[in-house]
Structure 1
């Protein structure tokens, strides 16, 4: 990396969690170089057409202005410096967050207020497939948990965002929530309402299988006017019948229960790649941020999704090798430019 480094280069270092790397030693070696880097631990990685369980994937981005750290996402006790000058669409904020932290949506809202609606936002949630929170982000500032790293880049970025999940039931109202915990739906215990919809379609009871074995195919969709809903992944149910999601669900949000079909999900990922490629001319880097729970749902068929994204980019003349991570939540601006934290979604970013 040192040979290729220039003062405005940013190296995004993605490490598969099963690699067994000593991150402290890894950072010490990186810190001996002159390169500017940020990184994270992820359940799996993507390189070209391959899904990688072990190893490291590095992507070089250009136009680095500055690397920032926000610590304490759960408490919101960070201060984001407001950028003094309005920035246009030739700028991007690339961010990695602790995907299991609460307060991610609040952080992203502050990020949006700091940099505005004209620039692009792109990134994802790091963390372990065990869903046990632990340090998962790293930079020259150290190995971090409950934090976010974000970087301003003077580099044009083109984004495609699609998920492909379809409505099964709803809309319902999330009548009581706390951060990422949905406590009540339509003034009833959340799990009670959710299981009625899901079990009727699935044909078996949650009592017969682990919760996530069924729930991975039935996420929530937070209804958005005029665009795809934003998916929220329920990953557990607690003793009070509350549903724990990856990412916050604001109180009084309208929710649909969604259902997945393999070919629709794969087609949506392909569409995300095509949307990004249709905007780009000669990208220097191609990054895909895809949700680990899409892998868990598609299983062996996820390879088809990777191949569909690669093929779509190649057909549009995109030359850089696709690199990426399977994440705990995906970050992108979409629609009118507002930044959002997604679940179960494919986000393709082309940098030029």
Structure 2
């Protein structure tokens, strides 16, 4: 269900009226400018004894439209109450005992995973999660938060409203996942010779910004100033070299006073990087391919929902972002009649990547078709 300009009462009324079966949970995605009192929504839903989780995102997606003021509400069959993990930035994450969940996995079901997209140790969190469950489930989700890049509460469950946290919801549906980005190499490989979590300090033993600026200014034909870093850098992300697959994109969002590049998501020390460049045509083609891929080999299963988690910085780069959403909707409508893609523009995207591992992406579109 899509609500265009909801207030707290409308969200609670909508949830109350939705068809729900025993074991269902409610998933709520809100645009960051919806102006809702999230605490009031949490209290009201708790009074109704409704199990729920959700997040605040730069925008939500319904069909071929995005909005910063709307909300998406869906019900999903669940294996357990959503799990909340706090304190990601400290590295001291208290993971629950997953044995009960593992015992309920008679099929490869789906874990919806959402993080505060502006916190540290996201990759460490995902590594720990994957170490606990491996490929027993498919993983899909993204980073919540604000386009202002100011960290504040952005995730919520029955237990409250949180930042520096993650939510894991185990959904009793199978899923097909597609991950694509379309960015192309213009320079590399280079080595991230010194990093600190999501901060790149040195590239090839030189100051990171000096190396990055040298390539980007020459290619872009523009000079970095004190105020335009993100405007230029959004078109020139890093790509972490990945054998047999597209590079994993890391988005530099600011340069600090020491000339270090702050990225969304960690870059391991000695990671091999390329500098990438985007063209609208290649990004749109990637989204089209992702929408095709996620609808293949469903084995006759009934599609419940098509979830789209698309990077907010893709929308800023493409400008006419509705083209990407229209391509995705067209592909889904051709194979999954009556299903409108819904989701969010995220600060980083989360997905299983092949059969090997769980990854945090930037500037990428992730589409998950959840089916019975």
Matched ranges for 1:114-193 at <5 A = 114-193=132-211
Distance 1:304-1:90 versus aligned 2 partners, 3 A rule: same
The CA deviation at 1:279 is 3.0
Identify the residue that residue 40 of structure 1 maps to in structure 2: 55
Instruction: Give 1:154 shift.
Output: 2.3
Match of 2:65 among 45, 50, 54: 50
Secondary structure at the aligned position of 1:18 is classed as: coil
Residues 331-346 of structure 1 mapped to structure 2, 5 A cutoff: 331-346=350-365
The offset of 1:40, in angstroms, is: 0.7
CA–CA distance in structure 1, aligned partners of residues 242 and 188 of structure 2: 13
Aligned residue among 281, 288, 293 for 2:308: 288
The SS at the match of 1:65 is: coil
8 A contact 2:306–2:342 mirrored in 1 = yes
Q: Distance in 2 between matches of 1:283 and 1:98?
A: 28
Find the aligned partners of 1:216 and 1:22 in 2 and give their Cα distance: 32
Match status 1:322 vs 2:322: no
User: Are 1:206 and 2:224 an aligned pair?
Assistant: yes
Does residue 349 (structure 1) correspond to residue 368 (structure 2)? The answer is: yes
Residue number among 272, 285, 293 corresponding to 1:267 in the alignment: 285
Q: Show the counterpart of 1:30.
A: 45
Deviation at 1:153, TM superposition (A): 2.0
| 2:331 matched residue in structure 1 | 312
The CA deviation at 1:79 is 2.0
| C-alpha distance in structure 2 between counterparts of 1:208 and 1:74, whole Å | 28
- Cα separation, 1, equivalents of 2:246 and 2:337: 26
CA offsets, 1:80-135, max 9 Å, x none? 13433474653111111100000111100111011112420011100000000001
* TM superposition outliers: structure 1 runs of 4+ over 6 Å: none
Offset at residue 33 of structure 1 (A): 2.1
Q: State the SS of the aligned residue for 1:164.
A: coil
Q: How far apart, CA to CA, are the structure 2 residues paired with 1:319 and 1:135? A: 34
1:8 CA displacement: 1.8
- Distance in 2 between the 1:10 and 1:274 partners? 28
Q: Secondary structure at the match of 2:249?
A: strand
The Cα shift of 1:5 comes to 2.3
SS in structure 1 opposite 2:368? strand
1:62 Cα shift? 1.6
Q: CA RMSD in A?
A: 1.4
- For structure 2, the 5+ residue unaligned runs are 1-14
Output one character per residue of 1:62-89: Cα deviation in whole Å (capped at 9) or x when no partner. Answer: 2332311100001122221343347465
For the Cα contact (< 8 Å) 2:78–2:169, is it kept in 1?
Answer: no
Segments of 5+ residues of structure 1 without an aligned counterpart are none
Match of 2:20 in 1: 5
* In 2: Cα distance, 1:208 partner to 1:279 partner: 50
| 2:303–2:336 Cα contact (<8 Å) kept | no
Alpha-carbon distance, 1:335 to partner: 1.4
